[in-house]
Structures are given as structure tokens and as C-alpha cells.
Homo-oligomer: A and B are copies of this chain.
Amino acid sequence: MTDTPNARHTIFGDQHDRILERLARLDPDLATYIRDFAYDTIYDRPGLDLKTKELIACALLTSLGSPPELRTHLRGARRAGATDQDIRETLLLCIPYLGFPRVVAALAHLQDMTE
């Protein structure tokens, strides 16, 4: 796949092709929807910087409790310029809204990626 670098390339980094191939094996149309709608339509909207978008994504995935996507966007936040402290602050900010269990789970994923 060759295309102009955009948010999707930054977020997925060197895992870009592997992630899209994994999604295409699940369902080719799913991979197309994620690439064309989720990333190239929604994520590429102007306005917010990519780092802010990825911190918001990390908070939403903490709420959903979806481990694979959370790990993808914890890495994506780093690739978009967030420090681990930025990510940590985002997850701690979820406590008053979501309670502790979801935040503990998200911080455990962050720790797994750091060790």
C-alpha cells in the first residue's frame, strides 16, 4: 500500500502495514472502512492536533475497555508526540468519570508497553 503519509501513518508507525493486513484478514471491507472512514476521513479532519486526538482516543478506549485498540493508541499517542507523562495524566483524569477499575487496567497496559 502506497499513499500520502497522514495521521494513520503517524499513529500506526512501523506497524502500519501489519495492522492493516491483520484487519484485512479479519474482513477486507472492515479494513477499508477503518482506513478510509475512521482514519482518512475522521482523523484527518483539521482543527485538533494529532497529539490531542490520540490522548482523547486513549481516554475513550479506557472507557470502552478494548485492550488491543488501547495499546495501538497508547503507542499512537507517543508517535504523535505525547510523553508518557501526558498519557499518564490523561488516564488519571479518567478516574472521576469512570472510577478506578478501568484506569488501573489502562495503566497496566501502559506499563506492559514500557517494560
Contact = CB atoms under 8 A, between A and B. Distances in A.
Interface residues of A, number: 53
Given A89-B48, A98-B99, A27 B107 contact: yes
Nearest to A37: B37
Contact of A85 (B47, B53, B61, B94): B47
Interface of A: 23, 25-27, 29-30, 33-34, 37-38, 41-43, 45, 47-48, 52-53, 55-57, 59-61, 63-66, 68-69, 85-86, 88-90, 92-105, 107-108, 110-111
22 contacts: A25-B111, A29-B45, A30-B100, A30-B103, A33-B37, A33-B41, A33-B100, A34-B96, A34-B100, A37-B37, A45-B89, A48-B86, A48-B89, A48-B90, A48-B93, A59-B60, A60-B97, A61-B97, A66-B102, A69-B104, A97-B99, A99-B99
